[in-house]
Structure 1
Amino acid sequence: MDFDFAELPENDRYRLLSNFVGPRPIALVTTIDEHGCNNAAPMSFFNVFSHEPPLLILGMETRPDGTAKDTVANIRRSGEFVVHMVDMAIASEMIVTGINFPSDVDEIEFAGLTSTPSVKVAAPRIEESPCAMECKVSQILDYGRRTIVIGEVMQMYVRDECMDERGRYVRPEVYQPIARMHADNYIVADNQFVLKHPAELLITRKPPALPQLK
């Protein structure tokens, strides 16, 4: 099938892109409003963008009535936010934070999660997350109803057991983030395997042995 995006309705473009570009990592983003109220919201239009400088990118849409969501409004005002990775231990709580609450509701508290002070930004860190990245806004781009936020990572927290003894590499048997597929379907990184770099394959002259996936 071929799809002409110039002719395709917006909902169909979203369906195709989000169904086939995946799994997409989930950013559970915390901000703080002008009254000091915590805000948390998940988003799956998210990824790491660069390591030098260390940049993350978020894609957020306005509400159906055209008004900005709390996360976007708070980021524009404060110029900072915290991105948390999500594992199975907090998957249900992450979904709860996605409810369209009034702006004065603390989604972290409502979801049963614990807020703790960040190091370099005012927005709180969620204690239960295996990984959190404190970010300052580098650039904000507006495309109609879509806001693209590029944030520079200023500080990163990783739960101790997620790293090896040297604090250098992730332990895949411990750190197993979830990601979004399509609609309400998610996947967990609990079936990881190794593919060697092509240079190593040239030395052995053997094709990689792929595992039997579940």
Structure 2
Amino acid sequence: MIIDLDDLSSTETYFAMTQAIIPRPIAWVLSENSAGDYNLAPFSYFNAVCSDPPLIMISLGKKPDGSPKDTRVNIEARHHFVIHIASCEQIHQLNESSATLPAGVSEIEQLGLELAEFPGSPLPRLADCRLAMACEFYEVKELGPAQQALIFGRLTHLYIDDQVADQDHKGRLKIHADRLNPLGRLGAREYFTGGEVITLVRPA
């Protein structure tokens, strides 16, 4: 099968890409609105892009009515956000947080999630997430006719549950993926729930 993307609509292209680029990490993003309420939403167009400075990228579309998503509005206005890496047991809460709610309605309250202090961050983190990243707004770029927003954030602090991380034989940080058990995104309604961890020696 050969697919020419020039022959596809933007919606068809989206479905093809999200099923071909798999698995994708999911950024479960907490941000704050002007009233001081917390918004929570998942985004799977997400990855690391630079380590000096330490930058991540999340890509956001728009709401069905064409307005910017609350996450973008909050980040651009207040410049701080927290990205969580959800574990597989949080799949239902993460999925529910993807619903489009009226601005000002907090997914945190709707889902009964607990927050915890995040030293070094002006925002809290989800208490039950084993890995969280405090971020500062760095830059935004808009791409394409639909004005897809690429938001770049600078990582400032990491929270890592002590049970999923320690040091390797060289004294470097070692996060154990099998203990973190991260949730990944596939196409359509599908998610990825881990698998075998294979360790290989890198060629010289």
Shorter-chain TM-score above 0.5: yes
After TM superposition, the structure 1 stretch with the greater mean CA deviation from structure 2, 160-169 or 71-80, is 160-169
After TM superposition, the structure 1 stretch with the greater mean CA deviation from structure 2, 42-51 or 31-40, is 42-51
Match of 1:126 in 2: 126
**Residue 173 of structure 1: CA displacement?**
3.3
- Are 1:70 and 2:70 matched, yes or no? yes
Match of 2:152 in 1: 150
Partner deviation per Cα, 1:174-200 (whole Å, 9 max, x = no partner) = 12101001111111223111232123x
- Are 1:190 and 2:195 matched, yes or no? yes
**Residue 171 of structure 1: CA displacement?**
2.3
- Asked if structure 2 preserves the Cα contact closer than 8 Å seen for 1:93 and 1:112, the reply is no
Look up the equivalent residue of 2:51 and give its one-letter code.
H
After TM superposition, the structure 1 stretch with the greater mean CA deviation from structure 2, 123-132 or 169-178, is 169-178
Name which one, 1 or 2, has greater alpha-carbon Rg.
Answer: 1
**Residue 120 of structure 1: CA displacement?**
3.5
Look up the equivalent residue of 2:164 and give its one-letter code.
C
CA–CA distance in 2 between the matches of 1:10 and 1:192? 35
TM-score if structure 2 supplies the norm length?
0.91
- Are 1:179 and 2:184 matched, yes or no? yes
TM-score if structure 1 supplies the norm length?
0.87
Look up the equivalent residue of 2:116 and give its one-letter code.
T
- Asked if structure 1 preserves the Cα contact closer than 8 Å seen for 2:142 and 2:148, the reply is yes
Partner deviation per Cα, 1:56-102 (whole Å, 9 max, x = no partner) = 10000011221011111101111121100010222211111111111
For these two proteins, the number of residue pairs brought into alignment is 199
Structure 1 gaps, min length 5:
200-214
Partner deviation per Cα, 1:14-52 (whole Å, 9 max, x = no partner) = 011110101000110000000101100011110111222
Which runs of 4 or more aligned residues in structure 1 lie more than 4 Å from their structure 2 counterparts after TM superposition?
none
RMSD: 1.6
Taking the TM superposition and a 5 Å limit, the aligned residue runs for 1:9-158 are 9-143=9-143, 144-158=146-160
- Counterpart of 1:139 in 2: which secondary structure? strand
- Counterpart of 2:7 in 1: which secondary structure? coil
Match of 2:173 in 1: 168
Partner deviation per Cα, 1:112-142 (whole Å, 9 max, x = no partner) = 2112233334332111111000000111001
